[in-house]
A and B are shown apart, each in its own frame.
Chain A
Amino acid sequence: MRTQAIDHMALLPAYLAAATAVAALVADLIVARRAVVLATTAIGTLATAVAAAWLGFSPDRETFCAADGCSYATTRPGALVAVTLCALTLAVLGLSAATLRDREGPPHGEYLFLLASSLTGGVVLAYARDLITIIVALETLTLPLYVLVSMRRKDIRSAEAAVTFLLASVAASALTLLGAALLYAVTGQVHLSGLSHALHGPTAPLTAAAVAMVIAGMVFKVAAVPLHAWAPGTYDGAPLPIAAYLSTASKLGGIVAITWVLTVGLTPVAAVSGGVLAAVAAVTMTVGNLVALRQTRAVRLLAWSSIAQAGYLLAPFGGLAVASGRTHAGVEAIAAAVIGFAVLYVVLEITAFGAVIGLRGERVDGGDLDDYAGAARRSPWLAGALILALTGLAGLPPGLAGLFAKVTVFSAVAPRLPWLAVVIAVNAVIGLVYYLRFSLRPLRGTPDAAPGAPLPAAIAAAACVAAAVVLGFAPQLVLHLAAISQ
């Protein structure tokens, strides 16, 4: 039997992320001081990001290769995703300062260990190229979150959120796993490249069912309709930084998994999956936006808005339904648009959560929209960050990043499915209503006296704003890296 050659350099980011998790646990056992554990996790995350960036700028590597293909490939889009996940984790670490300082809050050792474990799953996912690795990585990303969601102790809503999330997520994972098993039964393949060869020719009904299951389970992670109902309650019950992580890093992980599976592995059945995802996208954005209109709680509004954004996120896949979207160049353009939009979106979303966390100070939840009245007078910079992020999510300047995100989606959707572009246009108009409504809250009324944001949270929020502004002027930084071939 031939032994596999393993390229450990390609695995460096994954090793570092895993080591970060272990280091957080060990540091907590030995020193047990919050600042030390936090710093250890932050340094480890930073090292992971540096390794991923370095790999991104060196030639692509592949490892765990068998005759049918490789399980692990470092590409530029993968590096972009890995670095973004690390950056998001760093931001969440900063934003967790108030949560961890709270005596009744989560124990910091476990909290940071779980966060780093989740990051490990995300980093592996960015490079994974076979169904088993993808599913295991996705579960590694999600599993720690069940516990993290429940860490707003003393709050029954937090426990409810965790149970909802756990049940829904396990069901979705089972679905994906069953789909993967059926695909293996049909083709005998788990590698994405092997699948794309084996699936050529007419599509058997069993294959179609298997593909539908794989995708349905993954769509759950991005909270698309009909598997969206868990998101609002879970976000609102979770500690605020974890809600931020769920709506950014976890969602990025989900969309990356879908992208690899659809555009690398399942290209021969793209016509079917494209049509289904176009419909899912249209329904998701419509439901998300319409329900968001009625929200009065800040985090619930952000949750429904992120469901709507998941619709925009999936929309480019709809292009796979038409022939021009299934050419080699078409598939690459669609993948690049999805990843590009996802990265621009998570930057704005984390900025919005950063501003919310900063404005809420020591309080554990996001509160009602009315709680933000007059916030601009009390903390003008954080309120400015909130407005920048919300208008960005609405796709409008002053923060151009959101505008470019919208352009990216349209560039992929409009030439292939004009009707879907019109649906997106109408939805963006609905979205503007609630984004503007929330944006106006801090500008009116009188503020209540609330303690200011802790320094790490303020720094994290400032860094998010800086990233959003830079990407607003130079979107090509993301969009260029998101393209599979340069």
Chain B
Amino acid sequence: MNLVLVAALALPAVGAVAAFAVRQRNRLAKWVATGFAAAGFLAAAALPLASGDGPMWHRVNLPWAQAIHLRFDIGVDGVSYPLIALTALLTLLCCVHTTIYEPARGSGAVLAALLLAVDVGITGVFASVNLVAFFVFFEIVLLPMWAIIHFWGAEDRRHAAIKFALYTLLGSLLLLAGIFVIVGSTGTADIVRLTQSHGAGMSPGTQVLAFSLLGIGFAIKAPLWPLHTWLPDAHTQAPTVGSVILAGVLLKLGTYGLVRVGVGTTPDGAHRVAPVLAVLAVAAILIGGLVCLAQNELKRLIAYSSVGHMGFVLLGIATMTAAGINAALFGNIAHGLITGLLFFLAGAIKDRAGTGELSKLGGLRNAAPGLAGILGFTALASLGLPGLAGFWGEAFSVYGSASRGSALWITLAVFAALGAALAAAYLLRLLRLVTHGDSSPVVANLGSAAALRRGEIAIWAPITAGILVFGVAPWLLLDGFAGALIQQVVAR
């Protein structure tokens, strides 16, 4: 089964090269990319089969460059598996999307190849058990994603792309500094071993320093207010598939890293810095919500909503309780599905109407009932309606905060709950403006274009199913989180 783990990384890599090699034959290349993405998804989905004992289900550990403590050391467990599967799924759906919509400018084939390259990097990060390998995969994501925004984005794409690249690079290099503070004082870069020893070998001061460096690095990626300013630009300007990957899985590199690397390897440092993290996370929830209330552009609104939703995830991590961290990991997946779907929908609406201005849309319910229905469903999931996936992560991260008991944490829980109400307000405002009321001229003129296309249904159906299933049966994910390693993290 270790072979399957390697295949989950290697198939997209080969697919990226293959699709790029035949890029002159646009259609063929896009189908090649889709084929490799599908094969990669099957490999990723099959990972729970024949899982071994020990902290990792499967593990491949090969020497690479000893001088810099780098090993090709990848593994998968209940924490990383849902994210790996989500990455593979969204990549596959985005590749299918490129076969349906040829981008307005640039080659769809190269876009598909870059999506696969991003997939390799993200999957590699989720699978890394070696800190340096973690960083290497983290960096692989940067330039392909920059290129997706820079070459395929909307009008202001270049500015958004460079902003994304610079912020991300700063974050990843601070992460690298943090990694070597850890490696320098413990002599190992093995995440499992570091987690099991609770970061033994590092003085409290070193742990705080290491966690602060890692924390800032991951906070830029997640993103945490006030380091979030790259996100609205990047998500708004990126092409639909870029926004889906950005919101769906790229942000999770930050929160996953914070749990696996930050809390996992420097638990004492995390305990000390956690209150700061929590305050900023709640600030992000409130500010994200307030900004969303004032947004008039569909993609920008969804982008800002991510700041708030990721705030809940970060708050869950900051509580350092079992409930909070499980909620954070759950929130990761839920946000990936919901916001991924929201960006697909925003893309579909903007494609049809030619505008994302909320004031110019309206009455979508009459002209395009199918589209409006799915938008309504996803918006409800996003605002945390019980029974849908969005609920569990946010509810339990508030619970985790309140369960800490002290005045600070209870205050934070109250404000976070207030933020959840804000989310309800801006999402209902979104629905009122876009789906209800009389049809605006733009929407009324849609005609036959308003109907759902078969390809779109195929892309959206798996995500919709996921939102429903994880909403009704959250234990499907939570049981996986109960694995050995994460218990090491929260037991303290």
Contact = CB atoms under 8 A, between A and B. Distances in A.
A482 B67 contact: yes
A479 B70 CA distance: 11
Contacts of B183: 411, 415
Interface string A364-406: 0000000000000000000000000001000111101001101
B60 to A, nearest CB: 17
B173 A425 contact: yes
Interface string A413-437: 1111010011011101100110010
Interface in B160-175: 162, 165-166, 169-170, 173-174
B177 interface: yes
A256 B409 CA distance: 56
A424 B166 contact: no
Interface stretch (B97-105, B136-144, B224-232): B136-144
A336 interface: yes
Interface residues of B, number: 33
Contacts of A253: none
B491 interface: no
Given A403-B139, A414-B180, A428 B67 contact: no
A429 B180 contact: no
Interface in A412-468: 413-416, 418, 421-422, 424-426, 428-429, 432-433, 436
A429 B67 CA distance: 25
Given A415-B184, A421-B180, A425-B174, A407 B143 contact: no
A422 B162 CA distance: 20
Contacts of B448: none
A483 interface: yes
Given A407-B135, A418-B209, A424-B173, A340 B67 contact: yes
Interface string B63-96: 0111111100000000000000000000000000
B197 interface: no
A476 B66 contact: yes
Contacts of A250: none
Most buried by A among B68, B139, B146, B162: B68
B68 A411 contact: yes
Contact of A421 (B64, B143, B177): B177
A407 B176 contact: yes
A397 B140 contact: yes
A122 interface: no
Nearest to B217: A425
Contacts of A235: none
A475 interface: yes
B417 to A, nearest CB: 37
A428 B184 contact: no
A408 interface: yes
A426 B170 contact: yes
Interface string A468-486: 0000001110011011000
B139 A479 contact: no
A417 to B, nearest CB: 10
A379 to B, nearest CB: 17
A309 to B, nearest CB: 15
5 contacts: A396-B143, A404-B68, A422-B174, A425-B173, A436-B146
Given A416-B184, A422-B177, A479-B65, 6 more contacts: A324-B184, A403-B136, A415-B181, A421-B177, A433-B166, A474-B65
The 10 closest A-B pairs by CB, nearest first: A415-B184, A425-B173, A414-B180, A479-B67, A421-B177, A476-B65, A414-B177, A475-B65, A429-B170, A410-B176
Interface of B: 64-70, 132, 135-136, 139-140, 142-143, 146, 162, 165-166, 169-170, 173-174, 176-181, 183-185, 209, 213
